[in-house]
Structure 1
């Protein structure tokens, strides 16, 4: 079953929508699916549906609601890609993490699922890292997260397992940034980084021109094993 729910912000002053996919029976745990710069679009909803089919409660909060509610963009349509870049520039990740924390609270208190993980893509990959450093999430996964190399000073706060998928040919995260990530995180006892040689940003999208089938299947299998072990 799928539905759209309204989640209150941490301060209770406003609220935002989230796409929710319920599994059959009691959820084994919950997973927050953190959007790319394209909003909670069909690809993000499809990822939620897959997690629900695997027995998890899956929740994708609308993190662009402060700019415009209900944004859904297609990265293979050039004007929509340009709009996504505009939204990225307007977006405030600090507010996103607060909304993710509010989503964690909703899952535990309203949905009644105590164990919560998060998986994010692109902007969401960065937010998955920030979620690991700033909240009490039980486990986090980031795919091709941008600008993580600029936030390594927060790595001391990672208290729960974090998995990062890094394509080596990512044209948004260059070799220097990747090297800094490895230098700053390889020795962290709770962090695992997998490199994907020759793959580019967006390789694990559900559909479209960016997807690399073999790479996506490998990364997704590792993510499934990670959540099975940590949630």
Structure 2
């Protein structure tokens, strides 16, 4: 995983309620296809910034909106002992339809940026994996990659509206989404023949996150390799 120190620029995404902050990473060439990266419940954390840098290094223009921008005290310290409690508190205060609308606006504005020379897609992790799925249902992305989308069990009625080629990652030891629910998700999302659905043996929730409580190195490596191959196929670089 790349360093989160890779250069990003803070820009504004226009919404009905004002300007939503977002971080923009450009690839070495300065242009390419676009990816909207949607955060975990921990916000635009060092891990999310590192993944954005990884995607930019591959050649993508990456935009990560600050989905919590409407909330007070929305900063999450990854070193805090109450990290999970604080993050769950934040996401419980978030208005889901507004988060979808904000994220859809970010995708639309990413598509119009001068650096974009191809299509645009969505990639989301945990909370962001479900949010990306919902955004894919109400917009027209070229590709969707969802890591263990925590909101997916409540969004399956939207599955017929998600027509983009989609890749879903889940672990078999997910303590937050039991395997019966994972199989229910699989049945719903694979109604789209362009969907790939992959399980990782022994991996828990948030297995790609580098925090020791979550990280599953093998699942992280395998899923990232699949992600980059899937993106190369469905959101090709120029």
TM-score (norm 1): 0.92
CA distance in 2, matches of 1:208, 1:52: 25
Name the counterpart of 1:145.
149
Residue 162 of structure 2, aligned match among 158, 163, 179: 158
SS at structure 2 position matched to 1:77? coil
Matched, 1:77 2:83: no
Matched, 1:67 2:71: yes
Name the counterpart of 2:106.
103
CA distance in 2, matches of 1:193, 1:218: 13
Structure 2 gaps, min length 5 = 1-6
| Dislocated runs of 4+, deviation >2 Å | 68-73, 185-188, 206-209
SS at structure 2 position matched to 1:49? helix
TM-score (norm 2): 0.89
Q: Which moved more, 1:101-110 or 1:55-64?
A: 101-110
1:80 deviates by: 2.1
Matched, 1:217 2:221: yes
Residue 130 of structure 1, aligned match among 122, 131, 134: 134
SS at structure 1 position matched to 2:141? coil
* Change in 2 beyond 3 A, CA 1:78/1:48: same
CA distance in 2, matches of 1:180, 1:117: 25
Question: Could you list the per-position Cα deviations for residues 93-147 of structure 1 after superposition, in whole angstroms to 9, with x for gaps in the alignment?
Answer: 2212211111112212234415111111110111121122111111111111113
Contact 1:62 1:70 in 2 (8 A): no
Question: Could you list the per-position Cα deviations for residues 51-98 of structure 1 after superposition, in whole angstroms to 9, with x for gaps in the alignment?
Answer: 111111111100011113762331x63312211011121112221221
CA distance in 2, matches of 1:69, 1:51: 29
Name the counterpart of 2:11.
5
* Change in 2 beyond 3 A, CA 1:188/1:108: closer
Name the counterpart of 2:3.
none
